[in-house]
Structure 1
Amino acid sequence: MHQAPATGSAGKPIRKVVIAGGGTAGWMTAALLKKVLADSVEIELVESEEIGIVGVGEATIPPIQIFNQYLGLDEKAFLRDTHATMKLAIKFENWRKPGESYYHTFGAPGASLGFCNFQHYWLRAREAGLPQSLWDYDLNYLCCEAGKFNIIKTPNPVYEMPYAYHFDSALYGQFLRKMAEAAGVKRTEGMIEAVQQHGISGDIEALQLKDGRKIHGDLFVDCTGLRGLLIRQTLGVQYESWAKYLPANSALAVPSERFEKTLPYTRSIAHKAGWQWRIPLTHRNGNGIVYSSAYLSDDEAYSTLMGNLDSKALAEPRKISFETGRTSSQWAKNVVAIGLSSGFLEPLESTSIHLIQSGIVRLLKVFPNQGISDAVVDYYNADSKQEFETIRDFIILHYHANERDDSEFWRDMRNMAVPARLQEKMALFRESAQVFNDHNDIFRDASWIQVMLGQGIMPRDYHPAAKVPTSSELLATLGKVQEAKHQPLAQMLSHDEFLARYSGV
């Protein structure tokens, strides 16, 4: 439990927030804090242009739209300034076994047909000879396969097509910086040389810069990335490693020339001891390989990555070392860790930027007025822990439920013990086709269903409500659903044509 200090932040009103570090995490934090708190709290961000940005989070999930809309970002300007493209899904290639692929889309396959969910009716229909996959009833999937996109504005859930973005995260940070500074956020350029703490409570009182300046504050937000300068190096909060579940600890990232045809989805391609990402932007492509050094050398990873680019490399690969896990208390004393300082989950499901967003929103929901309390800190930490763990389990699912037998890495991932929650979720789906959303799980039921089916977990049974219609009635109904899902395709543009018309890129 968090213990309030005898003196320091307890009972002390928060009049100034100091954000240590810029980049995507820092400027997302600054922009949203300023938007919500306006002039009631002073906000100062300290960053140094000497420190590089990791910048692995170039793909996002749909809640980023809510963040942008709340800030009042113009979507067209955002797309232009960040060289963004639209994202409807992630295509997983070679994950179940070499040569096979499936999509995890942002959509929900099918439609509401009765008491139980669509997958139950689809499973019953398969017994009656239905040849279509579950994805054939998913508009996001159909658009991915056709390379099409358009924004659909309709209250009809059949035509719901959730989307996110691929964008240059460094440019996104710059885009938000302009907005935040215009709104009154103070930016201070400087390298943090030391951190000044209260002699009794241990709370952070000020950041001392190399030139001698001291930046005082009441609440500090640690956006210093993987080093965790405030939360871990200064306060000594321990890091909880998840390497036993997710052993990948290295990544190589390299930009390459843009494709002539821009895909509306991310590609995730499994290799011998890890996986490769391909992210399409309007000015280049983002590429990288995530791997475990225990199973693959840096040279092997380099050869795999550079030998599997679809376009000419624009630089030499940059290595990123990490340990999957989370900072055990993401709020300690008067410091809140946001971004990579709060933990690292490999970018398999594009959750890095979302975790920044949810961390800021969580902070704002319980933002102290008359001082930091145990109850607020304990709630924040418990809520954040649960969110991180649900994402962790979803990522483990991709690795664990595999049928590959071509390397020690994949065999070890298949045979490892997994967290109890994930084991229970897989067992329930395998036996009954049921999936129930957990509290703080950012992935909907449809996401779990797609990945479990894609990884080869096929349910042995379905809900008896799916037996109510006759086989002919059920097949006719699913035929109408499929026809409805195909209907919007004729009016859609190619992804590149949409981008050109909508945002002029």
Structure 2
Amino acid sequence: MGEPGIRNIVILGGGTAGWMTAAALSRALKGSGRTITLVESDEIGTIGVGEATIPTIHWFNRIVGLDEAEFIRETKATYKLGIQFSGWNGDGSAYLHPFGTFGPPGDGVMFLHRLIRARLGGMAAATEDFSLTAQAARAGRFATPVGDPRSLRSTLGYAYHFDAGLYARYLRRHAEALGVVRTEGKVARVEQDPESGCITRLVTERGDPVAGELFIDCSGLRGLLIEQTLGAGFEDWSEWLPCDRAWAAPSPVEGEIIPYTRATAAEAGWRWRIPLQHRTGNGYVFSSRFQDDDAARQSLLDALGEEPIAEPRLIRFLPGKRKRSWVKNVVAIGLSSGFLEPLESTSIHLIQSGIAKLLALFPRHGDDALVAEQFDRVFGQEVLDVRDFLVLHYKMTAGRDEPLWRYCQDMPIPDTLAYRIDQFRASGRLVLSTDELFRDASWFAVMDGQGIRPTDYNPMIETLSEADNRRHVEAVRAAIAQAAAQLPPLPLPADMAKV
């Protein structure tokens, strides 16, 4: 069993997915004698608007070996402490999905039940009061989490807003320094083994052959290898996620950096606004069933309130995932494996999650049916869980009566999501598996923000009387307010460039 099997790995497509994959594989396989070749064409554009991330980005940057200060400078990054949802419960409404956890350190899940109990007893308090990250975001303050489990600062969480194109370029330098070879050119022909059907090599338009035993498809939504060649199939989830297009346009940099993504409900979808060091990212995600392209473009421009610094770009997508993300000797990473939508900034996470699972299940031979089955099982479940979290936002919207939102309020939802909502309403419990991306704090923030109110709580917390429980919750609120006031101010864009 000591034979190397896979000697040559071929990545089709650059962009964020391709160069993340190349950077991770080249570091993990350093010294193994395997070659990694990335095939991409300068003539083929990338989506490239993925400017917002979630805290799992830290894990990926660490395994690739990136220095945080250098990463921030190279990608024009700013800090992101969460996502604000405005207008999802009607005009004028807003709530924050903060990163990190609620309450004091070490009591995250049970503290949510303590808060529910206090509210059922008549206490009125904003959910944000019990998140140090949320308080920091609102006050324009920032600090990295500390390792001391007794400190309130250990409950903080953060990610980044960054320029995805610059990130890909930055990772390319790291990957090429570790031996990854880039081949320029469009793929003209995909050759397969006549018996097994496995892909054997790609041939570019100028005739350059690129052979390999394992192929990573990072070709984007078209899925040149996984779908067009191997016919993996696709699960269409547009019945639950009705938005299928987005206009994107940059605007000048903001004078004051807001440390969270803004997601504002609109007539046929929602708008994003993302601050970077050198520009502001804007977009309007909408449903073509409820608004045509021209009207949506105008809606974005009207809301922008200033001239964009580049022409708006239209992106079309179909929400869903491949039925299989690993077929024969091809693994789909990134948009080639499917796309949900950008609402909770999960696109880059799902790229790195696919990479992590590939590293954990790296095969002896590219065509390994059992390994492929396990990859599809665990990756597919993660995507399903993310899907349910996104559908929650649409289904539980209130206070809006535009056709899109009426559709969402009336639509049947997956049984898995309905079960989670029922459990939370009945007992305050958040029914999650151990491997889910979004944990209790995230589900609570959105369920609470969307107006779902529990009618009970976990009776295990009744070791305290109702009065003592309320005093405890109030003390936590005061401690968080005090800790937030002691955090340093958020760096200005000019200071971020010097980090």
Deviation at 1:60, TM superposition (A): 0.4
The equivalences for 1:95-494 within 5 A come to: 95-111=88-104, 117-156=110-149, 158-159=152-153, 160-309=155-304, 311-370=306-365, 372-494=367-489
Q: Any idea what SS the aligned residue of 2:29 has?
A: helix
- Asked if the contact 1:90/1:104 (under 8 Å) is kept, the reply is yes
Deviation at 1:368, TM superposition (A): 1.2
- 1:504 alignment counterpart: 498
User: Structure 1 residue 71 and structure 2 residue 38: aligned?
Assistant: no
Deviation at 1:152, TM superposition (A): 3.7
Normalised by the length of structure 2, the TM-score is 0.95
Deviation at 1:12, TM superposition (A): 8.1
Taking a change above 3 Å as real, the CA distance of residues 500 and 256 of structure 1, as seen in their structure-2 partners, is closer
Letter of the 1:32 counterpart: A
- Asked if the contact 2:38/2:182 (under 8 Å) is kept, the reply is yes
Flag structure 2 segments of 5+ consecutive residues without an equivalent. Answer: none
Q: Any idea what SS the aligned residue of 1:262 has?
A: coil
Q: Any idea what SS the aligned residue of 1:304 has?
A: helix
User: Structure 1 residue 91 and structure 2 residue 84: aligned?
Assistant: yes
Deviation at 1:131, TM superposition (A): 2.2
Which deviates more from structure 2 when the two are superposed, residues 437-446 or residues 124-133? Answer: 124-133
Deviation at 1:503, TM superposition (A): 4.8
User: Structure 1 residue 51 and structure 2 residue 44: aligned?
Assistant: yes
- 2:13 alignment counterpart: 21
Letter of the 2:130 counterpart: Y
Which deviates more from structure 2 when the two are superposed, residues 433-442 or residues 45-54? Answer: 433-442
Taking a change above 3 Å as real, the CA distance of residues 334 and 367 of structure 1, as seen in their structure-2 partners, is same
Deviation at 1:345, TM superposition (A): 1.1
Deviation at 1:440, TM superposition (A): 3.3
Percent sequence identity over matched residues?
46
Deviation at 1:265, TM superposition (A): 0.3
Taking a change above 3 Å as real, the CA distance of residues 351 and 493 of structure 1, as seen in their structure-2 partners, is same
Letter of the 2:397 counterpart: N
* In structure 1, C-alpha distance between the alignment counterparts of 2:106 and 2:449, rounded to whole Å: 23
Taking a change above 3 Å as real, the CA distance of residues 148 and 113 of structure 1, as seen in their structure-2 partners, is closer
- Asked if the contact 2:133/2:156 (under 8 Å) is kept, the reply is yes
* In structure 1, C-alpha distance between the alignment counterparts of 2:237 and 2:107, rounded to whole Å: 40
Letter of the 2:327 counterpart: A
- Asked if the contact 2:152/2:483 (under 8 Å) is kept, the reply is no
Provide Cα deviations, 1:170-195, integer angstroms capped at 9, x if missing partner: 10000000010011111111111111
* In structure 1, C-alpha distance between the alignment counterparts of 2:255 and 2:296, rounded to whole Å: 27
- Asked if the contact 1:20/1:220 (under 8 Å) is kept, the reply is yes
Letter of the 2:8 counterpart: K
Taking a change above 3 Å as real, the CA distance of residues 311 and 468 of structure 1, as seen in their structure-2 partners, is farther
Deviation at 1:150, TM superposition (A): 2.0
Taking a change above 3 Å as real, the CA distance of residues 115 and 98 of structure 1, as seen in their structure-2 partners, is closer
User: Aligned Cα RMSD in Å?
Assistant: 1.8
- Asked if the contact 2:6/2:366 (under 8 Å) is kept, the reply is yes
Q: Any idea what SS the aligned residue of 2:240 has?
A: coil
Deviation at 1:139, TM superposition (A): 0.7
Deviation at 1:370, TM superposition (A): 4.7
- Asked if the contact 2:75/2:166 (under 8 Å) is kept, the reply is yes
* In structure 2, C-alpha distance between the alignment counterparts of 1:308 and 1:459, rounded to whole Å: 36
* In structure 1, C-alpha distance between the alignment counterparts of 2:200 and 2:191, rounded to whole Å: 6
Q: Any idea what SS the aligned residue of 1:65 has?
A: helix
- Asked if the contact 1:383/1:440 (under 8 Å) is kept, the reply is no
- Asked if the contact 2:55/2:157 (under 8 Å) is kept, the reply is yes
1:30 pairs, out of 19, 22, 34, with 22
Aligned residues: 494
* In structure 2, C-alpha distance between the alignment counterparts of 1:113 and 1:349, rounded to whole Å: 26
- Asked if the contact 2:244/2:286 (under 8 Å) is kept, the reply is yes
* In structure 1, C-alpha distance between the alignment counterparts of 2:166 and 2:120, rounded to whole Å: 51
* In structure 1, C-alpha distance between the alignment counterparts of 2:16 and 2:107, rounded to whole Å: 43
* In structure 2, C-alpha distance between the alignment counterparts of 1:166 and 1:433, rounded to whole Å: 32
- Asked if the contact 1:32/1:71 (under 8 Å) is kept, the reply is yes
Q: Any idea what SS the aligned residue of 1:475 has?
A: helix
- Asked if the contact 1:77/1:503 (under 8 Å) is kept, the reply is no
* In structure 2, C-alpha distance between the alignment counterparts of 1:370 and 1:289, rounded to whole Å: 43
Deviation at 1:310, TM superposition (A): 5.3
* In structure 2, C-alpha distance between the alignment counterparts of 1:232 and 1:118, rounded to whole Å: 46
Deviation at 1:83, TM superposition (A): 0.5
Q: Any idea what SS the aligned residue of 1:38 has?
A: coil
Letter of the 1:38 counterpart: K
Letter of the 1:436 counterpart: V
Which deviates more from structure 2 when the two are superposed, residues 12-21 or residues 378-387? Answer: 12-21
Provide Cα deviations, 1:66-122, integer angstroms capped at 9, x if missing partner: 111122111111101100000110000111222211011112111368797112211
- Asked if the contact 2:36/2:181 (under 8 Å) is kept, the reply is yes
Letter of the 1:415 counterpart: D
- 1:39 alignment counterpart: 31
- Asked if the contact 1:245/1:396 (under 8 Å) is kept, the reply is yes
Q: Any idea what SS the aligned residue of 2:176 has?
A: helix
